[in-house]
A = this chain, B = another copy of it.
Amino acid sequence: MNMINKVKEKFRPEQLMKGNFGIEREGLRCDRNGRLVTTPHPEVFGNKLKNPYITTDFSESQLEFITPVFNNIDDTYTFLENLYDVTMSELGSELIWPQSMPCNVPSDNKIPIAQFCNNEQGKEASNYRKHLLSKYGGKKQLLSGIHYNFSFDEKLLEFLYKQSKSPHTYQGFKSQTYLRVARNYLRYRWLIIYLLGSTSVVHTSYDMTGVPTLDKFGKDGFSCDGALSFRNSKAGYVNRVELYPNYSNIDNYINSLIKFVRDGLIESPKELYTQVRIKAYDNNNFLASLKQDGVNYLEYRSIDINPFDRAGLAKNDIYFMHLFNLFLLFKEETINMKWQQEALANQYHVAMNGLYDISLMRDGQQVKKSDWAMELLNEVMEFNNFLQLGQNDIVQGMMDKVKDASLTYAHKMLMQVEQLGYIEANIRLARKYKKQVYDTRYLLSGYEDLELSTQQIIKESIKRGVAFEVVDRKENFIKLKRDGNVQYVKQATKTGKDSYITTLIMENKTVTKKVLKENGIKVPKGNDFDTIDNAKEVISRLVDKPVVIKPKTTNYGLGISIFPAGATQDDLFAAVDVAFSHDKSILVEEFIAGREYRFLVIGDEVVAILRRIPANVIGDGMLSITKLVEEKNNDPLRGQGHKTPLEKIKLGKIEELCLKQSGYDFDYVPEVGELVYLRENSNISTGGDSVDFTDKAADYFKYIAVKAAKSVGASICGVDLMVRDITSDRSAYAIIELNFNPAIHMHCYPYKGIERNIAAKVLDLLGYPVIGC
Contacts and interface: CB of A to CB of B under 8 A. Distances in A.
A740 B500 contact: yes
A20 to B, nearest CB: 20
A496 B585 contact: no
B713 A508 contact: no
Contacts of A502: 496, 500
A471 B513 CA distance: 11
A123 interface: no
A503 B508 CA distance: 17
Interface stretch (A5-13, A472-480, A686-694): A472-480
A511 interface: yes
A499 B497 contact: yes
A546 to B, nearest CB: 26
Contacts of A740: 500
B508 A500 contact: no
Given A496-B713, A713-B496, A472 B503 contact: no
A681 to B, nearest CB: 23
B474 A511 contact: no
Interface in A388-404: none
Nearest to A498: B500
A237 interface: no
B713 A472 contact: no
A495 B496 CA distance: 14
A514 B713 contact: no
A514 B472 CA distance: 10
Contacts of A475: 508, 511
Contact of A505 (B488, B501, B584): B488
Contacts of A510: 471-472
Interface in A492-544: 494-505, 508, 510-511, 514-515, 530
Given A496-B713, A713-B496, A471 B501 contact: no
A489 interface: yes
A362 interface: no
Given A489-B501, A499-B500, A514 B474 contact: no
A496 B488 contact: no
A511 B471 contact: yes
Interface string A541-571: 0000000000000000000000000000000
A514 B478 CA distance: 12
Interface in A569-593: 584-585
A496 to B, nearest CB: 4
A490 interface: yes
A500 B511 contact: no
Contact of A494 (B474, B487, B496, B504): B504
A333 B139 CA distance: 111
Contacts of A584: 474
A580 to B, nearest CB: 14
A348 to B, nearest CB: 50
Interface core residue of A477, A502, A504 (most chain B CB under 10 Å): A504
Contact of A501 (B488, B504, B713): B488
Nearest to A713: B496
A514 B488 CA distance: 12
Given A496-B501, A498-B500, A499-B500, A508 B585 contact: no
Given A496-B499, A496-B713, A713-B496, A488 B504 contact: yes
A500 B505 contact: no
Given A471-B511, A472-B510, A474-B530, A494 B501 contact: yes
Nearest to A477: B511
Nearest to A488: B501
Contacts of A508: 472, 475, 477
A766 to B, nearest CB: 10
Contacts of A501: 487-490, 494-496
Nearest to A504: B490
Contacts of A488: 501, 504-505, 511, 515
A489 B508 CA distance: 13
Contacts of A477: 504, 508, 511
A471 B585 CA distance: 14
Contacts of A505: 488
A496 B515 CA distance: 15
Contact of A585 (B474, B514, B585, B713): B474
A714 to B, nearest CB: 10
A514 B740 CA distance: 26
A113 to B, nearest CB: 42
Nearest to A514: B471
Interface in A462-491: 471-472, 474-475, 477, 487-490
Contacts of A472: 508, 510-511
Nearest to A501: B496
Interface core residue of A500, A501, A514 (most chain B CB under 10 Å): A500
A507 to B, nearest CB: 9
A496 B585 CA distance: 24
Given A474-B585, A530-B474, A498 B495 contact: no
A736 to B, nearest CB: 19
Contacts of A494: 500-501, 504
A496 B495 CA distance: 14
A258 to B, nearest CB: 40
Interface in A172-215: none
A584 B475 CA distance: 11
Contacts of A499: 495-500
A538 to B, nearest CB: 15
A320 B489 CA distance: 59
A616 to B, nearest CB: 34
Nearest to A497: B499
Interface core residue of A475, A501, A502, A510 (most chain B CB under 10 Å): A501
Interface core residue of A488, A489, A508, A584 (most chain B CB under 10 Å): A488
A503 B505 CA distance: 15
5 contacts: A475-B511, A477-B511, A495-B500, A500-B502, A500-B503
Given A474-B585, A477-B508, A498-B500, 20 more contacts: A471-B514, A472-B510, A472-B511, A477-B504, A488-B511, A488-B515, A494-B500, A494-B501, A494-B504, A495-B499, A495-B500, A496-B499, A496-B500, A496-B501, A496-B713, A498-B499, A499-B499, A500-B502, A500-B503, A500-B740
Interface of A: 471-472, 474-475, 477, 487-490, 494-505, 508, 510-511, 514-515, 530, 584-585, 713, 740
Closest 6 CB pairs of A and B: A496-B501, A496-B499, A498-B500, A490-B504, A488-B501, A500-B503
